[in-house]
Amino acid sequence: MHSSRFMRWATTAALALALFTPQQALHAQTKPKHTDLGHVPESVLWVGNSFFYYNNSMHNAFGPLVASASSDSRVRSTSVTISASGLDWHDMDSLLRPDGLGRYSFGANNEIRFNKAGRQYDTAIMMDCSQCPVHPQLQAAFHDTVRKHTQSLLRAGVRPVLFMSWAYKDKPEMTAQLAEQYTLAANANGALVIPAGLAFAKAIAKRADVELYAADKRHPSPAGTYLGACTVYATLYRKSPVGLTYTAGLSPELATLLQTAAWDAVQEYFRP
């Protein structure tokens, strides 16, 4: 029964998307209400699943990217991921408990650093499972969980950010669907959106042979993780990542393509 229901939903979605022009498919129909983080992030909590932790984790690409922008630029990140999880698998109140997660960290020479007592993070980036925001049986839970988690974050003085995930390689129609649901959820809850899914579509539109996916056509390749990190940088700092020297081991040409795609996607998504 669940399978037939999903097939009916997929058919309806496909018919609706058939009315889109190719350019419309790269955008959310709803425009974001919140366009700026409001502060320079110093400590970021990443809450999600394997889309974050592939390739030694996206936060480990984001940190060096920030550092390459300026010798004075630093950001501390903690990644909290559960394999194949939905956002509703995470207990946000537990993650935010005072003197808990993030109470201390380690420096370059393994010296221990005790961080601020109380609030350990100023920003939290959240991503749901790859299908959850658009699946007919999970979409309501996505919106309910975003509301619940953003309320917890705001009570703790932490800025909520949603990470718009990308379409499966063989299901590009997911791009517009995911973009719409992430934008709607963010608008309803005072959150900022990182349009990573739109950046994936933008990079592929620029160069069709760019490989952003692992062999399963779902998880990110190293290039996909780097593109995600570039999109996070462009969104949180509202600066172009083009020209940043950290390339995560990618060729300069490929890194420049991905940096440009991230910046173009962010500019277009937040354009009035």
pLDDT tens column, 76-88:
999 999 999 999 9
Give 87's DSSP letter. Answer: G
* Whole-angstrom distance, CA of residue 117 vs CA of residue 78: 16
Residue 262 lies in a domain: yes
Q: Which of 37, 44, 194 is nearest to 127 (CA)?
A: 194
105, burial (CB in 10 Å: exposed 0-12, middle 13-18, buried 19+): middle
* Whole-angstrom distance, CA of residue 131 vs CA of residue 128: 8
Torsion of Cα atoms, 239 then 61 then 88 then 182, to 10°: 30
* Whole-angstrom distance, CA of residue 204 vs CA of residue 66: 24
Residue 9 lies in a domain: no
40-79 pLDDT, tens digit each: 999 999 999 999 999 999 999 999 999 999 877 889 999 9
CB 136 within 8 A of CB 9: yes
Residue 14 lies in a domain: no
Give 24's DSSP letter. Answer: G
Residue 58 lies in a domain: yes
Residue 182 lies in a domain: yes
Give 80's DSSP letter. Answer: E
* Whole-angstrom distance, CA of residue 81 vs CA of residue 101: 13
Residue 104 lies in a domain: no
203-237 pLDDT, tens digit each: 999 999 999 999 999 999 999 999 999 999 999 99
Q: Which domain holds residue 266?
A: 22-90+120-270
Residue 213 lies in a domain: yes
* 43: three-class secondary structure by DSSP: strand
**CATH number, domain containing residue 230:** 3.40.50.1110
15-33 pLDDT, tens digit each: 333 333 344 445 558 999 9
Number of domains within the chain: 1
What's the length of the chain? 272
Residue 222 lies in a domain: yes
Backbone angles phi, psi at 164, to 5 degrees: -70, 110
